[in-house]
Structure 1
């Protein structure tokens, strides 16, 4: 996870950019198997955090709780000062996320997806996205369904970086 420079929309929305990510006493279980037991985490602006552990240790579950994608049984996660389970659009716009298994839009071409996403993110940087596509040899005319797994992962990273997020979260990139 990497706290990056804040987009202009974040400043205007009066978000807590000094502490983009925090969690207090997170607990999560799957049945009788406790995955997270009282996790406290605070990631100040400009800090980088890496999660290391064996398969099944709970790294992706922790990320899910931190981003509000999973509801912990106890504790609370916060993004930019707000509960992760109730994020407003301004906070969502400040987050770049690459999941462990990126979502596929196989029927679209790479360039079509970039154009679609540019409409959703006011701070989308088209020149930045184009430069990343070029750097990582991703052809805008290529069908997403025809990309190799490595290319699909690189495309997911481009999608996360193009809007210049204040917080970048990568789950096994």
Structure 2
């Protein structure tokens, strides 16, 4: 980032990583036992690794804020946004929080690494707007709509700066 700063970059919006242990791709491909899951069906170890990464990224952003005085560095907590979406899927109108809409294999994750979305044999759900995951990795348009509005609310940002600040500076 300091290289970008030396070339004139002054405003940075940094997103942390989401709950990797909740992705259908990871859930379908890792060997697991019942004790490996949290209360929402996500893999604890992968989410713990994501949290550790995010803690270090947050600290780095704090450090850079103090070093790069003439810059704006906004840290956005994507993990909390996306985990809340999965934990409260029905509240947001979703029927399936951990199953891919486009994929192969049906319940519980509809994900097969050999027959992914866009390869021969895949199927697509009828109501994509009721799913959080599109293809086991990416979110559906409906889920991204929820995520985007939470990002733009600035409730998950440190510091809480509105996005239009970056358009005007």
* TM-score using structure 1 length: 0.25
Work out which structure has the larger RCO, using CA pairs closer than 8 Å and 6 or more positions apart in sequence. Answer: 1
Q: Which has the larger radius of gyration?
A: 2
User: Which has the larger share of strand?
Assistant: 1
* TM-score using structure 2 length: 0.25
User: Which has the larger share of helix?
Assistant: 2
